[in-house]
Amino acid sequence: MRMLIEDLRGDRAGDSALILPGDQRVPAAFHNHATQAHWHTLNSLIRMGGQRVDNASDVIIGIVEWWRTVESLISLLLSVACTESDLGLRPERNRIDRTARRDVHERWSLIANWFSEGTESAPSELTSLLTELRDFRNSFEHSSRANPVAIRASRLSTQPDHVNEADLMEAMAICVAICQFWRFVLPFNDLMPQVNVPSTTYVMFEALDTQADELLWPFFAEVLDALGLEAEVSPYAFDFGDFSGRSHIQAMMAICFEDKPQRPQLSTPIDPTARFEAYTVARPDLPGPGMFRVPAYTITADADAGTA
């Protein structure tokens, strides 16, 4: 009897996680979201430069993923603070209720207060950027993007439905600035998201802020120049440095390896391109030579009558 694919659920091999005392593993979701945000950003810039890319690349999704990167990093640090609290560390501080529901600003304030022994809070400039990126993202997922949002600290558009590559780069700039602030809270760890180096020859990752400064921003400027355009958005350069508070526990970012049944190897080679192309050419409504078809959501009168 063959094994079920469902039997392989829970295999986290290859995932990034933060290993805390007691072999507690906290998924490093910020890494996954940064990977997605980086992919959408890079491909949106390539498309902006006149090159063909995967149609799935999307400016709005990129912005949403930069937000999720920030939100996930804050949640990760809250998990560390809760673990310290559970272990009885910082006995002079009130214990943290791990089960309490908190919005992102409450989590943001709590981690600053906890790791600094109540002596430091996040700079107001960063808190304002956090708020505006959250509101901008919410306009895509929780409200109408046609409604204007209040923008004072960042360079995001006040009209989310007018979003373009400038807002995508601004979202990345906000994410980088926030990650730079929190990156060294865990001793011997750097929490700046690692992103793929876009090479066809090498497989490697590097810190997001390094690639943003040395590749993504210069490439953005090159594309703008070729289009005869300029931009107001640029990387943030704050002078307050990184957060001075530090965790009191030993933690380690790691790539997970699970001692579970491995996925079976393919018994025969699979050629998805041939299968997908065969499906496409068999369609009865193929576009003619040199033509294409956009998404069609309108039901014709004949089709509507046929489903009555």
Tell me which of 144 and 200 has the higher pLDDT.
200
Mean pLDDT of 140-166: 89
pLDDT the model gives residue 308: 46
Mean pLDDT of 200-209: 96
In 3D space, the residue among 152, 121, 123 whose CA is nearest the CA of residue 135 turns out to be: 152
Computed over every residue of the chain, the mean pLDDT equals 92
pLDDT at 183 over 70: yes
**d(C-alpha 97, C-alpha 188), whole Å:** 27
Tokens of 223: 């594309």
pLDDT the model gives residue 177: 98
In 3D space, the residue among 208, 204, 227 whose CA is nearest the CA of residue 217 turns out to be: 208
pLDDT the model gives residue 83: 96
Contacts of 39 (CB under 8 A, 6+ apart): 57, 196
pLDDT at 147 over 90: no
Contacts of 276 (CB under 8 A, 6+ apart): none
Q: Can you give the pTM of this predicted structure?
A: 0.89
pLDDT the model gives residue 307: 52
pLDDT the model gives residue 136: 95
Mean pLDDT of 35-52: 96
- Of 40-49, 216-225, 255-264, 297-306, the one with minimum mean pLDDT is 297-306
Q: pLDDT by residue (tens digit) across 18-29?
A: 999 988 899 999
pLDDT the model gives residue 289: 85
Contacts of 243 (CB under 8 A, 6+ apart): 112, 115, 116, 120, 122, 181, 182, 184, 185
Give CB contacts under 8 A, 24+ apart, made by 145-152. 152/128
pLDDT at 159 over 50: yes
Q: pLDDT by residue (tens digit) across 269-307?
A: 999 999 999 999 998 888 988 898 888 888 876 655 555
Q: pLDDT by residue (tens digit) across 227-285?
A: 999 999 999 999 999 999 999 999 999 887 766 667 788 889 999 999 999 999 998 88
pLDDT the model gives residue 17: 92
pLDDT the model gives residue 23: 85
Query: pLDDT exceeding 70 applies to what percent of the chain?
Result: 95
pLDDT the model gives residue 302: 63
